[in-house]
Structure 1
């Protein structure tokens, strides 16, 4: 006995499969959550106390960092020097940049493996991540520093889920709460809060507490995390996503408040930012961004 599937049944099966694939894509790219947020903000307007990232416009766009060929990764603002610091993970360097994106000096990093993020802590003190080994490394930098050896630096290993190249991708520091935010890129995408590292007094024993806000992390409607920035004035956290080409503002409860798109035609951009890897904010609220392999951006509020 032979069984035949009618053409209309084949169409129904194909339509059902297409619907399942479409739903899976919407969930994977977080388009449903993002669209819901955009509609809510369009109907309700700006939220009180928000930074309102959508009001920023590009001022310096895709400027090549002259003298830099390696992949640039991460960015932090040093308020004591009024400069920026970044790292490269191929030649392993800590690089100081002017606020206009020119190289001021280069410091060799020895024994860092895969430096991926850098964060200013206090004058002359920074934390650098080793992504694959999931290490946080405290470094001290003076005007005479030319080489930094990881073996001579204070370190903290946080091995969550084994070593991978989807490890610690971004850092941000809350100087008031003494919290170091550490972003895991994805698989899974998480933001850890570390207290007790780096320690303020070197002769005291290391007392580290690591926490996670699962509700906040579950509400991140981006595909990955590339960089973080903590705004001391508002207490809000900025999360940069390379794959989503988006900057997301989160309040103290971890709720999304505003977004800034990095796609062509948004924020005054003539072209989409190709691969955003680092974001920083200065004392005046200006945003700085770097994109692989060596592009520099500045956004100012209008």
Structure 2
């Protein structure tokens, strides 16, 4: 026997509930997407940033004060995308890396290409960090390997085989490894950013090894509680500010730079979206940040775009 199909009067109550069910499902999806983007934590932070502006401005870099001076200026003479950025106070210049055809590049403070240094055996170089006069660290993203290198006026090529190396291999998952570096010279701490899955900031002591008379002793630590407060989807670069002791964290996907105080608490931010901080257009894919000794903030973005932000003169 065949069952009789429900009649229209019996279906009407279910049909009347359908719009409410669809609305509830849409709301749940919207809330899930907002949580994925960390919009609730981000919104709450902006409220806190506004409430504590007078207090926090006095003892921080205070990123809301920064305004763009050079916007989306193409770095001429490059075919490969650049990644990461660091400031050399002795040379008064910036250094960055490329990974498709691995090179170290030196840039002027207004974004001009000054020279190129070939890299051999570095695999997937993703970041470079100034440590001391002539001394730098380069990171390999996929292998999670750090290289200590020396660069002077005569350097035209760097070979990984000649470098002091440190391999960590923490939570390796392909192209989501070491994206950013920052160095605290006074505390001799190297900060390493893992891009995502999970997003982490590691603190390394003992590398690079600078005292040949002492045994190599490396300590690696992290702070998952601090990292959980980072309301961003990924990490692209780091920068340590020696004047305040604060750390800057750059997120490409969230288009945001966050300033963290000495306890790891977010205290200020700089949005990389159009209409904020004088930007006419959003920064397309931010890859590296650097601070000079005057507090100017430099940024590079794919495809080979250069930015400079500064605070207004008092």
Interval of TM-score (by shorter of Structure 1 and Structure 2): over 0.9
Query: RMSD of aligned C-alpha atoms?
Result: 1.3
Q: Does 1:141 align with 2:151?
A: yes
Q: CA deviation at 1:203?
A: 4.6
**1:151, CA displacement in angstroms?**
1.3
Q: How does 1:25-174 map to 2 (within 5 A)?
A: 25-46=33-54, 47=56, 48-174=58-184
Residue 275 of structure 2 aligns with which residue? 265
1:116 Cα offset (Å): 0.3
What CA distance in whole angstroms lies between the structure 2 residues aligned with 1:89 and 1:78? Answer: 21
- 1:15 corresponds to which residue? 23
- Structure 1 segments unaligned to the other structure (5+ residues): none
Q: Tell me the TM-score normalised to structure 1 length.
A: 0.97
Higher alpha-carbon Rg:
2
Secondary structure in 1 matching 2:46: helix
Q: What does residue 297 of structure 1 align with?
A: 307
Query: Could you give the per-residue CA deviations for residues 229-263 of structure 1, whole angstroms, max 9, x where no partner exists?
Result: 00000000000110111110000000000000111
CA drift at 1:44: 3.2
Q: Which runs of 5+ in 2 are unaligned?
A: none
Preserved contact between residue 192 and residue 210 of structure 1 (Cα < 8 Å): yes
Residue 51 of structure 1: how far off its partner (Å): 1.1
1:163 CA displacement: 4.4
TM-score, structure 2 as length reference: 0.93
Distance in 2 between residues matched to 1:151 and 1:176, nearest whole Å = 29
**Contact in 2 for aligned 1:134/1:163 (Cα 8 Å):** no
CA deviation profile, 1:116-164 (whole Å, cap 9, x unmatched): 0000000010000000011011111111111100111011011012341
Give the Cα–Cα distance (whole angstroms) in 2 for the partners of residues 188 and 105 of structure 1: 36
Secondary structure of the 2:117 match is strand
Quote the residue 1:209 is aligned against.
219
**Residues 185-234 of structure 1: per-residue CA shift (max 9 Å, x gap):** 11111100011100121353321111001111000011110000000000
The corresponding residue for 2:190 is 180
Alpha-carbon distance, 1:14 to partner: 1.6
Which string of whole-angstrom CA distances, capped at 9 and with x for unpartnered residues, describes residues 17-57 of structure 1? 21221111111101101100111222332414021101100
Matched residue pairs, number?
302
- C-alpha distance in 1, partners of 2:49/2:172? 39
